[in-house]
Amino acid sequence: MAFPSTSCSVFAQNLSVSFSARQVINNLSVEISSRNITVIVGRSGVGKSTFLRSLNRLNEEISGSRTEGTVKLSFKDGTVDIYRDRFPIEELRRRVGMVFQTPHPIPTSIGKNLSLPLKLVLNLPSRKIDDRIEKALTIVHLWSEVKNRLKEPALSLSGGQQQRLCLARTLALEPEILLLDEPTASLDFKASEKIEDLLSELKRDYTIISVSHSIGQARRIADNVLVMKEGSIIKVLAASQFQEKGTLEDLLNEVF
């Protein structure tokens, strides 16, 4: 692979990531298409989350991290080589938003969970902030549930609502790529189902890359599945290749 294709949002070539003396990602190369859901599966400890964090340089927040290789991201206004081009890291993390396994609302009101990042990151005036808040909460189907509760503590929301709030907080900054690190792992079935349905809607406008330990979830939402083993992607499957019962399970059993 030399250059990303026109339909590619993420292009990694010979990517290696280590922490002190421990290598976690090993010479990984992959292209990820735009505006679909790519789910990364594999055994615990094979580097799924580390690969995800490499796409917005979040590994750099961990002491002793070292990244080598190429990661190019295609945005609406051009392609950026994120480890070589002089692209502001704050802008990178705005455009490549991330939501984690456990919801982490700011310990303040529901409304301020969205307004504070909009002020700090984008320096928006109040009139625009209110519009962004309503739009983001509407996108995640939370506006009708909280529009009269914006001054209440965010921690008063249920776990599923908190996760949708965290997703709305990310979407309010208008990213182009969404990174999700097991976004339903801490939720019950009903809340997980809402998140899965929401992601299937969001892929019309965003490139979504999600880590999941659930084969069922991968089958329900993924357009493509990346199978990881020992820090490398060993298989890329399109939806048609794993929708048949048993296909993905058999592959994972073989890998593990």
pLDDT at 242: 74
The answer to whether 200 touches 207, Cβ cutoff 8 Å, is no
Tens of each residue's pLDDT in the chain, 256 residues: 444 555 679 999 999 999 998 999 999 999 999 999 999 999 899 999 999 999 999 999 999 999 999 999 999 999 999 999 999 999 999 999 999 999 999 999 999 999 999 999 999 999 999 999 999 999 999 999 999 999 999 999 999 999 999 999 999 999 999 999 999 999 999 999 999 999 999 999 999 999 998 888 998 999 999 999 999 999 998 888 877 666 666 766 765 5
**pLDDT value of residue 2:** 45
Quote the CA–CA distance of 80 and 86 in Å, as a whole number.
9
Of 217, 213, 177, the C-alpha closest to 54 is 177
Compute and round to an integer the Cα radius of gyration of the chain: 18
pLDDT at position 76 is: 93
Walk me through the domains of the chain, giving residue ranges and CATH numbers: 8-255 (3.40.50.300)
The identity of residue 47, as a single letter, is G
Q: Any idea which residue has 């899965």 for tokens? A: 196
The token pair that represents 129 in the structure block: 């902030």
Could you tell me where the DSSP H helices lie in the chain? 48-54, 89-95, 110-122, 126-139, 143-146, 159-171, 189-202, 215-221, 239-242, 247-255
Q: At a CB cut-off of 8 Å and minimum separation 6, what does 2 contact?
A: none
pLDDT score of 21: 85
pLDDT digits (tens, 9 = 90+) for 177-208: 999 999 999 999 999 999 999 999 999 999 99
Picking from 202, 176, 218, the residue whose alpha carbon sits closest to that of residue 75 is 176
